[in-house]
Amino acid sequence: MRLTLRIWRQSTKDDGRLVDYRLDDVSEDMSFLEVLDVLNEELILAGDEPVAFDHDCREGICGMCGMMINGVAHGPERATTACQLHMRHFADGATITVEPWRAKPFPVVRDLVVDRSALDRIIEAGGYISAPTGSAPDAHAVAVPKPDADTAFESAACIGCGACVAACPNGSGMLFTAAKITHLGVLPQGQPERDSRVLDMVRAHDDLGFGGCTNTGECTAVCPKGVPLDSIGRLNRDLLRASLRPRR
């Protein structure tokens, strides 16, 4: 395959711009990140600066990779991370535009790499349970109904890649926040801190400069793990309930 990659190049000093790169021998079995690897080898041999991008497991489970590919977070395939996206989904001779996630809380570090630690700040605000450590309890010590376990797991599948924020027309991180609220909120272990969790996480989310959710559904459409929009309804229900109750 012959491809033109139109990639966002930005160092810490400049404002960034799109630069075109021609690749003449791309296999359709390559993943998107492998194409970037090939490009970077050529750039390094030519003495140019390689394109910086985040990646780690390349198995679609770590949440490190992520970029806007032709204007869609993680590219055109549903429920697929950029590392699991294969070139057979693109036409020969295509021009592919690649940009970093764009949001105020996600400053560009370099090229396609953004700083997503704002998501960690949201988790720190309440995305955990407080439990004494020690030896692991027996798996059946606390009974969890299967439907609850399934709902929790759907949301626990979130890998924190930030695609929901990148795709949201409002720059909102509500799907990410709601995934953690749902994951812990439907399990017995999450009950003691259920009220404070939702209040603190939503406040942290808003304070970090994320936008407000208007339920457009762009987030769940690009989520590589298919975290459902229902989770945002759950977050709102918990938020309403916690707001109406006296804070403990």
Q: Is 231 among the residues that bind other proteins (CB under 8 A)?
A: yes
From 24-32, 81-89, 140-148, 237-245, span contacting other proteins (CB under 8 A):
237-245
Q: Is 236 among the residues that bind other proteins (CB under 8 A)?
A: yes
DSSP string, 57-116: -SSS-S-----EETTEET-SSTT--GGG-BGGGS-TT-EEEEE---BTTB-EEETTEE--
Contact map string, positions 148 to 187, toward other proteins, x by CB under 8 A: -------------------x-xxxx---------------
Rg (CA), the chain: 20
For residue 58, how many other CB atoms are within 10 A of its CB?
16
69, two tokens: 């590919």
Q: Is 71 among the residues that bind other proteins (CB under 8 A)?
A: yes
Place of tokens 């679609």: 60
From 48-56, 63-71, 83-91, 191-199, span contacting other proteins (CB under 8 A):
63-71
Among 2, 22, 104, 203, binds other proteins (CB under 8 A): 104
Closest separation between CB of residue 97 and other proteins, Å?
Answer: 4
Q: Is 145 among the residues that bind other proteins (CB under 8 A)?
A: no
176 touches 158 (CB < 8 A): yes
Q: Which of 235, 213, 217 is nearest to 226 (CA)?
A: 217
Q: Is 119 among the residues that bind other proteins (CB under 8 A)?
A: no
Q: Is 216 among the residues that bind other proteins (CB under 8 A)?
A: yes
Task: For residue 126, give the 3-state DSSP assignment.
Answer: coil
The binding site for other proteins (CB under 8 A) comprises 6, 8, 18, 68, 70-72, 97, 99, 102-105, 167, 169-172, 209-212, 214-222, 228-234, 236-241
